[in-house]
Structure 1
Amino acid sequence: MADEQKNNHITTENGKTSVSVSEKYMLTIKEAAEYFSIGTKKMRRLAEDNLGRFAVYSGNRYLIIRTKFEKFVDESSAI
């Protein structure tokens, strides 16, 4: 059974908490690729090339700062 809080779109299933992608501050490569309709290979390359601008490396994975990437896309004529 899933409980849903209307304030911040948090759902709980089988003891796991998940937040909707549009509410997250940082996204994984896979989440960002889906959210922005970009391939995962291209998203990974963008993260590698823009480390510190809109991407951070945490442990063994790249994380995309959603708001900064949105700004990057707005300012770009091509990706």
Structure 2
Amino acid sequence: MSGTEHLTIPQKINLTIREAAEYSNIGINKIDELLKEPGCSFVLYVGTKKLVKREAFEKFLKKEIEI
């Protein structure tokens, strides 16, 4: 893959908080709040950076009716 090609969100394993917000129509602050909850199944820490595990995030959203 050359430097000019970009993966689409469904092709990515992990998303930034901004990408997850765009993908889900949930605000950045709300996603950040969810990532801070103990036992969050879709957070991945890379140093101090938080990423969203896309598939686990999708599963979480499919089973929730309110966040």
- SS class of match (1:19): coil
Q: Which amino acid aligns with 1:39?
A: G
Larger Rg: 1
- The runs of 4+ residues in structure 1 deviating greater than 4 Å are none
> TM-score, normalization: structure 2?
0.85
16, 20, 33: which one aligns with 1:28: 16
CA-based RMSD of the aligned residues comes to: 1.8
* Residue identity opposite 1:38 in structure 2: I
Indicate the SS of the match to 1:78. coil
- Structure 1: gaps (5+ residues): 1-9
Identity across matched positions, percent: 34
Shift of the 35–50 alpha-carbon distance from structure 1 to 2, 3 Å rule, reads farther
**Within 2, Cα distance between the matches of 1:60 and 1:29?**
13
5+ residue gaps, structure 2, are none
Pair 1:50–1:18, CA change in 2 (3 A): farther
Equivalent pairs counted in the alignment come to: 67
Q: Is this contact kept in 2: 1:11–1:19, CA < 8 A?
A: no
Point out the structure with the larger strand share: 1
Inter-CA distance 32–11: structure 2 relative to 1 (3 Å threshold): farther
Given the alignment of the two structures, is residue 78 of structure 1 paired with residue 60 of structure 2, yes or no?
A: no
